[in-house]
Amino acid sequence: MKNSIWLFLLALAACSAPKSQESVKQEVMTIGSVERLDSALNALIPVGAKIEVLASGFEWAEGPLWLEEQQALIFTDVPTNKIWKWTEKDSLSLYLSPSGYLGDRTDKREPGANGLALDEEGKLILCQHGERQIGKMLASLDAPKPDFQSLVSEYEGKRFNSPNDLVFHSKGQLFFTDPPYGMDPWDEKELDFQGVFRLDTDGKLNLLIDSLSRPNGIALSPDQSNLYIAQSDPEKARYYAFDLDDIGNVISGKVLFDATSLQSESRKGLPDGLKVHSSGTLFATGPGGVLVISPDGKHLGTILTENGTANCTFDSDEKYLYMTADAFLMRIALK
């Protein structure tokens, strides 16, 4: 019902006739608010910035990725096995289907792609739930087709759970997480842990961490010396920071911020996707929306989306933060 209401209101706003023949800027629907806990947040998010609703009607929007050449944002709808594209000019359009499961079962819960990234050649790399692999789309970004190459699908002969999120190092190494969220009850679980992995450019797969419960979102610090992991465990809703050596191995780790106590009926969501601003500040989805956390673990504030929020990303100039929150695509202006 809530999706139908939002779709109706969005359509109504889009179809409203201008009051004159002059060009009139279309009014944008807004939602939520920004909770400011530290004045340092004002240097990142302007005072008075509004959360804009760009599109709605999805089952669970995820994996936002900015495509600079196309001036477009693509994002996944995991349960429907689709990727959508949004642009300022053309609004919303279907980008790719299927995205994460290529079989013929129709009763899978979350078969689609989740996290998305671009490799050094500009190819789309996908965490594919249904295929339980990291896949590469062979077609170009301008003419997408569901034709994929599997980059990696197992560890020591055992299939992954369901790769969830990923990030590239400038050396071409791919770091990714493997919780079981994309698995169905009938899927055979072959690994007895939920890992954080690194895939090297020579194809070698390295297990970095096997001790986390529900490793989810993943990101690197601007200098790539720290690996951040969001843990979507309601009992230990945390963001971790791991020090990396020059090879990309984990040296040590710590809890950067514990959000367990922030969970409430009015603040839905767990640590999920996260991105790191060029300042080193983390924009991390979690209870209430998107938590803004300094590199030393101080909670500066929260972008309150009023919905469970899955992931976020910046455009190339960090002009906006785009957010996928339940059935919605949203954004907020940054400084």
pLDDT in tens, 43-91: 999 999 999 999 999 999 999 999 999 999 999 999 999 999 999 999 9
| Cβ atoms of residues 302 and 268 within 8 Å | no
Nearest to 273 by CA among 132, 126, 117, 165: 165
Class of domain 32-333: mainly beta
pLDDT in tens, 258-309: 999 999 999 999 999 999 999 999 999 999 999 999 999 999 999 999 999 9
Return binding residues for a divalent metal cation.
62, 216, 272
Reported pTM: 0.92
Return binding residues for substrate.
164
> Where in the sequence numbering do the catalytic residues fall?
272
Instruction: List the chain domain ranges.
Output: 32-333
Return binding residues.
62, 164, 216, 272
Predicted pLDDT of residue 28 = 81
